[in-house]
Structure 1
Amino acid sequence: MMRGNQSRMTEFLLLGLTSDPKHQLWLFASFLAMYLVNVAGNSVIIAAIRGDARLHTPMYFFLSSLSLVDICFTTVIVPRMLLNMLTQRKTILFAHCLAQMYFFVAFGITDSFLLAAMAIDRYVAICNPLHYTTTMNSRRCLLLVTASWVVSHLHSLTHTILMARLSFCGPNVIHHFFCDVQPLLMLSCSDTSVNELLAFTEGSFVIMSPFIFIVVSYIYITRAVLRAPSGRGRYKVFSTCGSHLTVVALFYGTIISVYIRPSSTYSVMKDRVITVIYTVVTPMLNPFIYSLRNKDVKQALKKLTQQRRPKTAPTAKKS
């Protein structure tokens, strides 16, 4: 939509997943349910870890940080999408669109770095157990989490500043359910070569660097486990790492297929389903993946449930 003789867009139109009112009804119910499960599940994981002293270890510190980021990551997208479905008012101001893009990119990359930090933690615990306490001390863990947030937000800020400098002359229709980098670039009437170069080079770097750390860590972990004489010990290690590997596969398997490729091959229509998986489904599944096969988390959740359960007053004995 244009105001007066200005050549700059002041708002965009988010088409969402579908324009069919019948489909929007069940989509609204589905996404609302997934969002509530995501927030509740990740909040419970954070509360359980904070409330159980046995879980005050580097591995669970990273897990609670990941749960917090997953809540933020989905909150950037889903509430706005639900509002658009409910009110049928699909417009979004240019400034709000940039803000959504900024936080989406920042939290998505923070997720990536935290998964790498968790892989490094498992590598040190399994390959260098005697030095684990000194290597993964609380100061270093806090530094890793802080660095994940700072680097991610700086990268996202660079994207946002470059995007804000572009001109958008029309059309103003975004064929997506949120403001992502590529759909916005496709609408710009300016030269987007610098933005595309940044998205492909630095974007590939901040996504692939953590992924490479994870792959290398698990190569060393696998070598160490295969040398272990006890089959029971091998099973215990793989069981511990299995949850993390499942989350890594879900996250990187979808996000790499969308972003690590030239912008000329990008197709919003084809990639929307994949985008739903890593923005909504994976953050919702993470609490279940980490809790179902983890005895420590199960015990912490049981303890948390018992603490929240109202205590019944003792009945007086009859004389």
Structure 2
Amino acid sequence: MSPLNSTVFINSTIVRPEFFIISGFSGLPHSKYYYVFLCFVYALSVLGNAFIMFMIYTDHCLHSPKYIAVFNLAVADLCVSTALVPPLIDTFLFKSQLISYEACLSNMFFVFLFLIMQSFTLTVLSYDRLVAICFPLRYNEIVTNKSMLVITAITWIIAGLAILIAVIFISTLSFCKSVVINSYFCDHGPTFRLACNDNTPNYVISWSHPALIFWLPLLFIICTYISIARALLKIATASERLKALKTCTSHLILVGIYYFPICLTYGAIGSTMHQNARIINTSLGTILPSMLNPIVYSLKTEEFTESIKKQYRRKKIHITVRNK
């Protein structure tokens, strides 16, 4: 039965399909290899982010404002990859591309919620670095565990409200055309473009929300590092400058990993991309950061590296004592 033949009418104006069809990667040649690759990326994402959260939770030396934000980033990374990859694997294994109307809206809400939180958390981390380098003597006074928890809670509320508004406007649309979503999840843009009634509010959201939740945070991060660069120029010796800059390297790498695919997809190059290339680039841009972020923090952050070494030494001593 066609989903358009089994619709639900609300107030005789809104037509809602029973289900949508997620086209996914069906148009890509050799897509099965890409699904296997996504399985590998997802496994590493789960292990890496779970490890980051475990280390921060168990090591009291990492109970600092900066690592509250890092813990929050790990949560967002783990959740966004879980919201995206398992449904794709389910589609690949069972050849079912159907998703119910309600499940589609839920998928849209949670995927974008966690993507927004990745953006916001990177912004919070840039604020942390700004205060640490530009106002080092007041850092412990300005950035406390309590203030970081409050900031984190506020970002979750803003992110939740922003995507909730988008989902509510989607729910007001009538879908009397195609029900095939040309994406690998219930993406906002490809979904609202299927509607046959007034789309103006959703078009406004599709332009305003990215500006507020992606481009504005990126602008803040750029301004932050301009201020940091000016502060570093005032430091007397090159070795002190390098030492201060090293505290920013992990964050700069994370920003590049997260924002480069977004700029590529939605910038000037994105408009000329083939549809298949655009889908692959978007999927990699949403999934790869979740895998790479834990690796970057494990290898590029001195405090975290020392924490890993300390945990290893404790484990080694415990095993030695037990064997005796």
TM-score by length of 1: 0.91
Name structure 2 gaps, 5 residues minimum. 9-14
Deviations 1:193-235 (CA, angstroms, capped at 9, x unpaired): 1111122023312222211221111111111112212211111
Structure 1 residue 264, shift from structure 2 partner? 9.1
- Amino acid of the structure 2 residue aligned with 1:149: W
Structure 1 residue 24, shift from structure 2 partner? 3.8
Distance 1:280 1:16 in 2: 14
Residue among 119, 136, 139 paired with 2:143: 136
> Secondary structure, in 3 states, of the residue corresponding to 2:99?
strand
Alignment check: 8 A CA contact 2:6 2:18 kept: no
**Alpha carbons of 1:3 and 1:303: their partners in 2 closer, same or farther (altered >3 Å)?**
farther
1:1-319 correspondence runs (5 A): 1-4=3-6, 7-18=15-26, 23-259=30-266, 268-305=275-312, 311=319, 313-315=322-324
Name structure 1 gaps, 5 residues minimum. none
Distance 1:146 1:237 in 2: 29
Structure 1 residue 73, shift from structure 2 partner? 1.1
> Secondary structure, in 3 states, of the residue corresponding to 1:177?
coil
Distance 2:6 2:260 in 1: 45
Distance 2:225 2:31 in 1: 42
Distance 1:56 1:29 in 2: 37
Alignment check: 8 A CA contact 2:176 2:195 kept: yes
Distance 2:68 2:267 in 1: 30
Alignment check: 8 A CA contact 1:175 1:268 kept: no
Distance 2:172 2:246 in 1: 49
> Secondary structure, in 3 states, of the residue corresponding to 1:155?
helix
- Amino acid of the structure 1 residue aligned with 2:232: V
Distance 2:271 2:203 in 1: 10
- Amino acid of the structure 1 residue aligned with 2:244: V
Structure 1 residue 12, shift from structure 2 partner? 1.0
**Alpha carbons of 1:136 and 1:48: their partners in 2 closer, same or farther (altered >3 Å)?**
same
Percent pairwise identity: 30
Structure 1 residue 303, shift from structure 2 partner? 3.2
Alignment coverage as a number of residue pairs:
313
> Secondary structure, in 3 states, of the residue corresponding to 1:77?
helix
Alignment check: 8 A CA contact 1:182 1:266 kept: no
Structure 1 residue 59, shift from structure 2 partner? 1.2
- Between 161-170 and 246-255, the greater mean CA deviation after superposition: 246-255
> Secondary structure, in 3 states, of the residue corresponding to 2:20?
strand
TM-score by length of 2: 0.89
Structure 1 residue 255, shift from structure 2 partner? 2.1
Structure 1 residue 301, shift from structure 2 partner? 2.1
**Alpha carbons of 1:167 and 1:307: their partners in 2 closer, same or farther (altered >3 Å)?**
farther
- Amino acid of the structure 2 residue aligned with 1:14: I
Distance 1:241 1:199 in 2: 32
Structure 1 residue 268, shift from structure 2 partner? 4.8
Structure 1 residue 146, shift from structure 2 partner? 0.5
- Between 153-162 and 193-202, the greater mean CA deviation after superposition: 193-202
Distance 1:68 1:217 in 2: 24
> Secondary structure, in 3 states, of the residue corresponding to 2:112?
helix
**Alpha carbons of 1:232 and 1:81: their partners in 2 closer, same or farther (altered >3 Å)?**
same
- Between 43-52 and 115-124, the greater mean CA deviation after superposition: 43-52
Deviations 1:87-121 (CA, angstroms, capped at 9, x unpaired): 01111111111111111111111111111110011
